[in-house]
Chain A
Amino acid sequence: MTSRDLIAPLAVAAVFCVIPFLGLDGALLNLLIFMMIIALAAQGWNILGGFGGLASFGHAAFFGTGAYATAILQTKAGLGAWPSLALGVALGAAVGAFIGFLSFRSGLRGSYFALITLAFAEVLRIASNSAEITGGAAGILIRLDYGFWNLQFEDRRWFAVLAVICVGLSLVLVRWMERARFGARLIAVRENEEAAKALGVDVFRVKMGAITLSAAVTGLAGALYAQNYLFLDAQVAYGSWISIEALFAAIVGGLGTLFGPLIGAVVLLGVGEITKSLAGGVPGVDLVVFGALLILTVAFAPGGLSGLAQRLGFKGGRA
Chain B
Amino acid sequence: MLRKAFAIAAILGFAAAAQASVAATTQATPKDVHWSFEGPFGRFDQEQLQRGYKVYHDVCSSCHAMHLMSYRNLGQPGGPFYDPKYPNPNDNPYVKAIVKDYKVADIDSDTGDVIKRPATAADAFVSPFANEAAARASNGGALPPDLSLIIKAREDGTRYVYSILTGYKAAPAGMTVPANRYYDPYMPGDMTAFWHGGGPVPVGGFIAMPQQLTPNRVTFDDGVAATPEQEAKDVVAFLAWASEPHQSERKQLGFAVMIYLVVFTGLLYASYRRIWRKVAH
Are these two chains actual partners, yes or no? no
Chain A residues at the B interface, C-beta cutoff of 8 Å: none
Which residues of B approach A to under 8 Å, CB–CB? none
